[in-house]
Structures are given as structure tokens and as C-alpha cells.
Structure 1
Amino acid sequence: MNKKRNKMPIISAIVVIMLMLNGSAAAASSLTSSTPADEYLIVALGDSISAGYEPGMDEKSVPYGFVERLSEQGLFHGRTKSVNYGILGLTSTGLGNYVSAIKDGKQVTPNEIQQGLPDPRIAAFAAGTSTAKADLSNADLITITIGGNDIQKLLPDIKDMSSDQVKVQSTDILTNYALQVRSIVDTLIELNPEAQIVVADQYQPIPKIAGAGTYVTLQNVATSFTAVVDEIAEQYTAQGKNVKAAHVAEAFVGREISLTHIYPETDIHPNQKGYEEIAKVISKVVWDSYTETAAKKGEAEISIVVKGVELKSQYQPVLKNGQTFIAIKDITDAIGGESRWNSKTQSATVTYEGRSVVIPMGSNKITSNGETLTTASPAFLHKIGKESKTYVPLAILAQGLGLDVKYSGKTKTVFINL
């Protein structure tokens, strides 16, 4: 039975790491050089919670965890990008080794980070410490979710342990955790004294139905974990450092079944609702808010957010041939631009901050600052009641005006930032 418990998470880790290798690791290697100076950069460190892992992922899966949601929340406040260094199976000691290697900017072997993580993604991260150092040095926000794999060693035998045994073992685990996290935070502050660092506590995923006694015992361990995280954050705050605690654990209490994938013999991880709760907690620590658009709540087909404000208009966006079209006046008013209509050429000209885009009606050719661009579907007149409004392709217009445009398929929301 123990062999089965140990074997399955490693197999899961290898599957997910391989599927993420070509995406996440490659993106991480190019992020620093392509990140504009005015772009808010989120760097996530930690274990599978940071990675956004869920049981059942295969080679076609794309993680959508708390980091991706946090990046979306950042878009309500300006241009935002995130890079994810979440490593499945990582312990606090392993993260300490990894951050130490990042500080030195030297390539290391996977086993120098942590024994028992023989997977391609770990090798890529181990070799890419100089890139990680640059990312962390430029980060505006650094999140840390670590410790679940430290505590996990208690789970197989906890039902047979006395309260004193649990207390002794959990105290040893948390003492080492605190030592490692303080060292990690010290290193991060040395690399980037301006970044905000948010350390999350660890929720306990086992529901009360598994046994009232065990549930109470695990909740006590989780409470002790939170106390350690709070103490660490308070210590740095007293020193004038921007380090905060995120209380994820309390969001899961009494809701473990609805927020967690629970396969006792193989895997326990948050489900999509669970990852959303984690994102809410951390977002409220960082921005004091967690915003949901009308489309996210199922109240609209698509939402458009410009400079952090969702457009509210009687002229709703239109999806056509995979493109989002919007009433031209709505977008120009939202960004503070101007539009002019030329009845002779049947074209609209939009200007903003010295840039100009000419959009002919019914033509796939758009002129952007003197350059001809091609759009899949042309601008058109959209009849709404007794009115006819000029609808233009949003993405190509925003591109021509030098705006930052990102689309979240999960929330059906277009984010536009200047």
C-alpha cells in the first residue's frame, strides 16, 4: 500500500511536468527580455499548488490555477504578466535549495534541488536559474505556496498516532519549514527589496467525513501552520519589509469536499473551485479585491475591461468568425481617443496618443500608422433597434493603437490596458 502511495504522485508529476515543459519552461526563458518596464510582473514559487495541478491532466491539459487567476486580477490594475515556477512534489527544503541556486545564478542538477524529482521540467528549471534570477529581480509580486509536501508525511499514519506524537512530529516539520521560509524570504529580499512577497499558509484537505478525530487533529496542525506563517510575516513587517501572509486555510474549512479532488490512495489537490478560492485570498491581500466580470458570472456573452473598468453599454460586443467586434464610440470613449467618419471613403479613423488606424467598412484591409493589416472579418454596421452603429474588430484596432490586449477564455473577458 505504501509503495502505491509513493509511486502514483511521482507518475502524476512526470506527466504534468512533461506536458508543461514546452509551454511553461519555454515561456519562462523568454519572459524577462519581452516584459515591458511598465508591466506588472508576478512570479510564483512553490509546489504543485503554484503549478495549478489537478488529477487527470494529460499532455493536452493547460493548467488554470490560482496563478493564472491572479494574473487576470492584475489586468484590472494595468498591464500584467506572470511566470510560474511551481514544481510538483517540492518541499520547503527543496524550495530553499532552488532559491539558493537562483541567487548564485548557477546551474544545478535536479537532485541538488531535491531528491526524487527525476523529470524533464525539473531539469529545465535546474539549468535555468539565471533566468529565474532575472525574473525574481524584476518581479513586482512574488507568491510562495509551499509546505503541503512537508505535512503530507503525517497523513498515512495519523489515525494511529496519539495527539502527543502528532504534536511532536508536526512541531519538527513546522520548525524546519519556518527555517527554510525565512531563508527563502531573506534571499528574495536581497535579490529584489522592492517586491511584495506573499506567503500562503496550507489548507488541510481531508473532510470531516473521514473521521471526526482525524479532522480535528489535522485542523489543529493547519492552525499551527497558519500561526507560523503569521509569525514570519509579522517579523518582516516589523523590519519594514513588504511581506504578507495569505490565509488560504480558513477558506477551505468545512468545504474540503467541494473544493478538493480527493483520491486518498493517489492524490489530493484543489479543484477549480479550490484554486479560485486561493486566488481570491491572495488577490485580496495584494489588491484588497477580487473582481468578476459579467461574462465570468454568466450574465453576458463576453466582457470588455478597459483600464480596469468593465464597459457597460447598450451596444453589446459581438463575436463574429472568432473575432470580437465593438461599437467604435464605446472603445474611443473608454481610452480617451477620437474617431472620425469619412462618408466618401466609407471609413472610420481612430486616433490615440499620436497613433492612427483607418478602418474601411466591408474591407479586410486596415491601415495602421501607414501599414496595411489584414483582418479575418471587416468592420460592419450593426443595427440595434432603430440605430446603426459602426462595429470594428477590437484586437486589430487595439494593436494598431499600441494598447495591451489580453483575452481570458476561462472568464470570456477581454482586458485592454494603455
Structure 2
Amino acid sequence: MKRTLAVVGAAALVCSLGAAPARAGADNPHAASGSYVALGDSLAAGYQPGLGDNKTGGYVGGVYANLRSKYRGAKLVNLACSGETTTTMVGGGRCDYPGGATQLQTAVDTIKAEKGKVRLITLDIGANDVQTCVARAGAIDAACLQAGMVAVANNTKRIVNDLRAAAGPKTQIVLLNYYNPFLVFWLTGNQPLAQVSVQLQAQLSGLIAQAAASGDAKVADVATAFRSTDWTPTASGVPTNVAAICALTWMCSKTDIHANDAGYVLMASTVNPLVVGPIRPATASVG
């Protein structure tokens, strides 16, 4: 399939995105404050190719704006680490934190120091445990993938339960599952791998859901928001899920897995209804 079809399909999907980014409303002088602790990998860090991290942007920025529309004094603590896996989040070695701590330990210490004032914790973690198991040439390392899934299953439950123990029962914890950048293989002629990637995404989403349930956390369904299983052809013939990846990430234009601005807006809109209600939530629909 020619790349030109990707451009056409992506353009069609972008034109159908009908909502503005999440943003804060007027300050409420009577609203309480509190903290929002953002955790995870490069998506939580707001990474954009060529620009690097933006820890007040990305989907975290949209969630924070929504939170501040209700609680004007809320502060953001973004501890995310680009490239973080569930293993490094627990054991360290990827990013530097005070005293040589891990992201998880730093988060637990931060939450405890807030003494019950943390309103919201968001977490996206696990993609880096498995995404390197898929080569650019389109081959899957099965042993790598199995080991990655086991790590996600074990480590994510520990992470969520440690966060819940530190935060207590009243703090909202929201885990995000992931969109599927490997749908782009449909455009390079490897349609079987694109289809298999949907099954692998479902497996990863299931592990994230299990971890969330173990710690009384919610799941923001990014996979569904990105229409990950919708193979309905667009007007150009590109499947809806493939066109969404082209429209909402940098995969088709820069071969980069990260979300673009529209993608981050859509991610924020999956979290916001689970917290204090949606503020102009983004939707991805194809006419």
C-alpha cells in the first residue's frame, strides 16, 4: 500500500476530529487545592520528536487543565521518565531521581509527603517492555514479547498497589492503556503483522486492566479512543484504525511512535471523564 494512501486517510480522519483540546475553565475561589502526580514513560512526559519532553504538555497538561478548572490551587508533579519500562520503574536505571531512588519510590515518597492531599495519580507504563520486541522490518521476537508481558503483569500490579498503599483509598488512580503504533505495517504491505498487533495490544490492555483492578484504580481506554480494532475502510480505502494512527501519532510521517498534539488531546479526553468530568472532550469519528 502506498504511503500516499496513509496521508489521504489521515487527512480524512483529522477533518473529522470535532472537538477542541481540554482546557481549564474559570478559577473557582472556593475550590480546594491538592496535587496531581503524573507517572509513566515518554507519553506521560509529553515527548515530541525533535522537541523532547514537555512535562506540562502532552496528555498530562490536558488532564491538569481539567483538574484546575475544579480545583484552582491544584499543583502538578510530573515524575515521568522517557524510555521507562515497568522493570526500570521498579528497579531504576533509566532516569535520575533524588538520592538514586526509582520513579516508583520517588512517587511513593512524594505521595506520603503530601499527607493525603494527592487528588489524582495517572500512570501509563508497559509499552516499552514489549514494543522493542517488534523489529522495524516487521518481525516479532516471541521470547522477548513473552518476557515483556510477564514483566508488565508482575511489575504493574506492584506499582499500582504501592501507589494505593501510599495514597490511601480516597485518591483517584487512573491507568492508561495504549494505542497501537504497529498498525502502520498495514501500509507497508505487512497486513498480517498489523492484524496480529491488534491481538497483542488486547493482551497488553488486559494486563493493565488487571493491575488497575488489583489496586482499585480506573482504566482510561486509549486503545478504544484510537479506534484500534476498527478495520472499517475510510473513503481512501485505508482502515479506520490505521488512519487514526497516521492522524494522531508520528508513525506515518516520521516513523515515530509518539502521539502528536491531536493524539495527546484525545488521550487526555479519555482520562478527564474519570476524574472531574470532561471538558470539551476530543472524539475520533469517521464520517
Q: Give 1:63 deviation, angstroms.
A: 5.4
Aligned amino acid, residue 249 of structure 2? T
Contact 1:170 1:221 in 2 (8 A): no
CA distance in 2, matches of 1:259, 1:78: 29
2:145 counterpart of 1:173: no
User: Which position in structure 2 is the counterpart of 1:232?
Assistant: 211
Contact 1:90 1:114 in 2 (8 A): no
Contact 2:220 2:271 in 1 (8 A): yes
Name which one, 1 or 2, has greater alpha-carbon Rg.
1
User: Which position in structure 1 is the counterpart of 2:123?
Assistant: 144
- Cα–Cα, structure 1 residues 131 and 221, in superposed 2: closer, same or farther, change >3 Å? closer
* SS of 1:225 mapped into structure 2: helix
Q: Give 1:76 deviation, angstroms.
A: 2.3
Contact 2:58 2:261 in 1 (8 A): yes
Note the alpha carbon deviations across 1:184-238, whole angstroms, 9 max, x for none: 11211221113211111122113232332121111111111111122223344xx
* SS of 1:51 mapped into structure 2: coil
Q: Give 1:133 deviation, angstroms.
A: 4.1
2:236 counterpart of 1:247: no
How is 1:258-277 mapped onto 2 (pairs within 5 angstroms)?
258-262=247-251, 267-277=256-266
Q: Which has the higher strand share?
A: 1
TM-score scaled by structure 1? Answer: 0.49
Which structure 1 segments of 5+ residues have no match? 1-36, 98-112, 293-418
Note the alpha carbon deviations across 1:148-201, whole angstroms, 9 max, x for none: 21122222167334xxx64x6434322210110111112112211132111111
User: Which position in structure 2 is the counterpart of 1:65?
Assistant: 58
CA distance in 2, matches of 1:223, 1:127: 32
Of 165, 172, 175, the residue aligned with 1:190 is: 165
Contact 2:160 2:212 in 1 (8 A): no
User: Which position in structure 2 is the counterpart of 1:74?
Assistant: 67
CA distance in 2, matches of 1:125, 1:49: 25
Q: Give 1:266 deviation, angstroms.
A: 6.8
- Cα–Cα, structure 1 residues 58 and 171, in superposed 2: closer, same or farther, change >3 Å? closer
TM-score scaled by structure 2? Answer: 0.69
Higher relative contact order (CA 8 A, sep 6+): 2
CA distance in 1, matches of 2:253, 2:280: 34
User: Which position in structure 2 is the counterpart of 1:205?
Assistant: 181
Aligned identity (percent) is: 26
2:274 counterpart of 1:281: no
RMSD: 2.9
